[in-house]
């Protein structure tokens, strides 16, 4: 690859069903340009998110075909083939050796898909494996997109429930506030609490990690205490760990008395790469009041409610159960804007002194780099695929660093976005 030209980043139209987001938005292109990176966007890629081609062109991007986009040195997507194995399969033929591809890849759920991507010779990076450490906050797509999901879950519930959220005193009498219960106080859960509180609801929340009580209270909810040992419920990365069936059974027993008096239950408890724990049983749903609503944000991996059906809304004994799997795509303008800032910060972190540098001593690179030089390199994926050990620090034969033309000032010249909530 010639060293006297700029790197190019391609932005294809998303093909995953219902996906309205776009990987980059016009507002971040100046930061890429300062870093010496030109942008080419597939015609119409941003339209569904509210970003027409003209806005990209105004910021210096070129508009081209899908083939043009995949001819770029870097391809950025929301849903790569790994997380879009059906509609995204045709992209495999367009990927090329030494090209950098990054986006959601579902490595823990579709290791075989990552292996197929590796076979193209492209360098594959998974945005959802970004470590939750302080210096990676502005690259954390899970946090930014969960913020959108938590907000939209409450909006959906408010639009579905036959009651209003706030307390109102009117000439026709006093309307009592709705009661909302949020299960799981991660980023989505905390945003759901804050949104429900702003709408006037009385909010309670529970998380298996007792340490988050202070955060729950700070955004306006009462933390539900349960006499249950949860000392080992959190891993070193800050994620909830999978707990045993005895623990879950006791948890459900204690939770039953709470949910039967609640108007809206929003569940967010998910374990990376695992089936979502069942926290709301069919029996518990049967004790809820008619007109109550459950919004299950863990539906993609089975759901926290025993009755949840992914991407469906069902009514059981008068209780509406919603199982959306991609709420950020329903708020595509802001979801795309946040995602794009995450990606630009990630990209410019990887470019040092005019070239991509694969520093395997860097935790960010080490934990997000899935494949390089035709091989899967992430140790836990190699283990899952039965490929044996590998030294990801060693550059596979034929893999070169991508070069970027020097620019004035800092080569990592991306505007620093606001930190994502963690």
- Is 136 a domain residue? yes
The C-alpha R_g of the chain, in whole angstroms, comes to 23
What is the pLDDT confidence band of residue 6, given thresholds at 50, 70 and 90?
A: confident
Catalytic residue among 73, 91, 98, 140: 140
Average pLDDT over residues 13-37: 96
Note the pLDDT of residue 257.
86
Note the pLDDT of residue 208.
86
Average pLDDT over residues 24-50: 96
- Is 403 a domain residue? no
Average pLDDT over residues 46-67: 98
Note the pLDDT of residue 355.
76
Q: Are residues 175 and 305 in the same domain?
A: yes
- Is 417 a domain residue? no
Give CA–CA dist 340/338, Å, rounded. Answer: 5
Count other Cβ atoms within 10 Å, centred on residue 354: 18
Residue 355 near residue 6 (C-beta atoms within 8 A): no
Q: Where are the beta strands (DSSP E) in 185-318?
A: 202-206, 222-223, 264-267, 293-296, 313-316
Whole-number percent of the chain with pLDDT over 70: 86
Higher pLDDT, 352 or 373: 373
Over 80: is that where the pLDDT of 170 sits? yes
Across 35-49, 104-118, 405-419, least confident range: 405-419
- Is 396 a domain residue? no
Note the pLDDT of residue 253.
80
- Is 311 a domain residue? yes
Higher pLDDT, 263 or 412: 263
Catalytic residue among 137, 138, 215, 251: 137
How many helices (H) and strands (E) are present in the chain, helices listed first? Answer: 12, 19
Q: Are residues 191 and 314 in the same domain?
A: yes
Average pLDDT over residues 368-395: 83
Residue 389 near residue 116 (C-beta atoms within 8 A): no
Average pLDDT of the residues of the chain: 88
pLDDT in tens, 320-370: 999 999 999 999 999 999 999 999 999 999 987 667 889 999 999 999 999
Note the pLDDT of residue 248.
76
- Is 400 a domain residue? no
Active site residue 176: no
Note the pLDDT of residue 210.
83
Q: Are residues 211 and 103 in the same domain?
A: no
Q: Are residues 313 and 356 in the same domain?
A: no
Catalytic residue among 99, 126, 143, 145: 143
Active site residue 132: yes
- Is 421 a domain residue? no
What is the pLDDT confidence band of residue 237, given thresholds at 50, 70 and 90?
A: low
Give CA–CA dist 280/283, Å, rounded. Answer: 8
Note the pLDDT of residue 390.
60
Q: Are residues 162 and 33 in the same domain?
A: no
Which of 222-226, 364-368, 406-410: highest mean pLDDT?
Answer: 364-368
Over 60: is that where the pLDDT of 1 sits? no
Residue 279 near residue 251 (C-beta atoms within 8 A): yes
Note the pLDDT of residue 228.
66
Average pLDDT over residues 205-219: 92
Whole-number percent of the chain with pLDDT over 90: 77
Catalytic residue among 132, 198, 301, 401: 132
Catalytic residue among 53, 239, 289, 390: 239
Count how many Cα atoms sit within 13 Å of the Cα of residue 278 in the half-sphere of its side chain: 13
Active site residue 137: yes
Over 90: is that where the pLDDT of 77 sits? yes
Over 60: is that where the pLDDT of 184 sits? yes
What is the pLDDT confidence band of residue 225, given thresholds at 50, 70 and 90?
A: confident
User: Which residue, among 94, 71, 91, has the nearest Cα to 8 in the 3D structure?
Assistant: 71
Q: Are residues 282 and 342 in the same domain?
A: no
Note the pLDDT of residue 3.
52
Note the pLDDT of residue 273.
77
Q: Coil, strand or helix: which one is 232?
A: coil
CA-based angle 195:201:204, to the nearest 5? 85
Give CA–CA dist 255/1, Å, rounded. Answer: 60
Note the pLDDT of residue 234.
53
Average pLDDT over residues 157-173: 95
Q: Tell me the residue range of the domain where 310 lies.
A: 147-330
Q: Are residues 167 and 221 in the same domain?
A: yes
Q: Are residues 160 and 123 in the same domain?
A: no
State how many domains the chain has.
2
Active site residue 140: yes
Q: Are residues 74 and 121 in the same domain?
A: yes
Q: Are residues 295 and 318 in the same domain?
A: yes
Q: Are residues 320 and 174 in the same domain?
A: yes
> Can you give the CATH number for the domain in which 47 is found?
3.40.50.720
- Is 405 a domain residue? no
Active site residue 339: no
Return the H-helix or E-strand segment holding 90: none
What is the pLDDT confidence band of residue 243, given thresholds at 50, 70 and 90?
A: low
């Amino acid at each position: 690859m010639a060293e006297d030209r700029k790197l190019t980043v391609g932005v294809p139209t998303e093909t995953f069903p219902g996906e309205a987001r776009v990987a980059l938005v016009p507002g971040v292109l100046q930061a890429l340009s300062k870093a010496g990176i030109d942008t080419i966007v597939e015609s119409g890629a941003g339209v569904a998110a509210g970003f027409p081609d003209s806005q990209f062109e105004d910021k210096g991007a070129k508009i081209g075909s899908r083939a043009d986009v995949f001819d770029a040195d870097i391809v950025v997507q929301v849903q790569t083939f790994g997380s879009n194995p059906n509609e995204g399969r045709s992209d495999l033929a367009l990927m090329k050796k030494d090209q950098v591809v990054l986006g959601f890849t579902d490595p823990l759920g579709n290791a075989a898909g990552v292996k197929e991507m590796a076979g193209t010779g492209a360098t594959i990076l998974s945005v959802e494996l970004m470590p939750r450490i302080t210096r990676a906050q502005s690259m954390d797509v899970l946090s930014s997109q969960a913020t959108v999901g938590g907000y939209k879950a409450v909006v959906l519930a408010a639009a579905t429930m036959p009651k209003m959220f706030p307390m109102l005193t009117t000439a026709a009498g006093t309307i009592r506030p709705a009661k909302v219960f949020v299960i799981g106080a991660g980023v989505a859960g905390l945003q759901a609490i804050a949104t429900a509180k702003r709408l006037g609801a009385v909010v309670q929340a529970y998380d298996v990690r007792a340490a988050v009580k202070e955060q729950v209270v700070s955004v306006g909810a009462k933390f539900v205490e349960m006499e249950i040992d949860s000392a080992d419920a959190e891993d070193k990365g800050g994620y909830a760990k999978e707990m045993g069936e005895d623990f879950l059974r006791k948890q459900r027993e204690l939770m039953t008395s709470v949910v039967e008096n609640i108007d809206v239950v929003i569940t967010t408890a998910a374990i990376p790469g695992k089936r979502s724990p069942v926290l709301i049983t069919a029996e518990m749903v049967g004790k809820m009041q008619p007109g109550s609503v459950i919004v299950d944000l863990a539906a993609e991996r089975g759901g926290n409610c025993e009755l949840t059906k992914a991407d469906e809304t069902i009514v059981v004994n008068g209780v509406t159960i919603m199982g959306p799997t991609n709420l950020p795509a329903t708020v595509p303008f802001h979801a795309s804007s946040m995602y794009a800032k995450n990606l630009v910060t990630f990209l410019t972190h990887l470019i040092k002194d005019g070239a991509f540098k694969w520093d395997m001593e860097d935790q960010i690179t080490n934990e997000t780099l899935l494949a390089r030089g035709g091989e899967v390199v992430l140790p836990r994926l190699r283990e899952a695929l039965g490929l044996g050990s590998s030294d990801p620090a060693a550059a596979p034969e034929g893999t070169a660093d991508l070069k970027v033309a020097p620019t004035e000032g800092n080569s990592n010249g991306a505007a620093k976005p606001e930190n994502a909530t963690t």
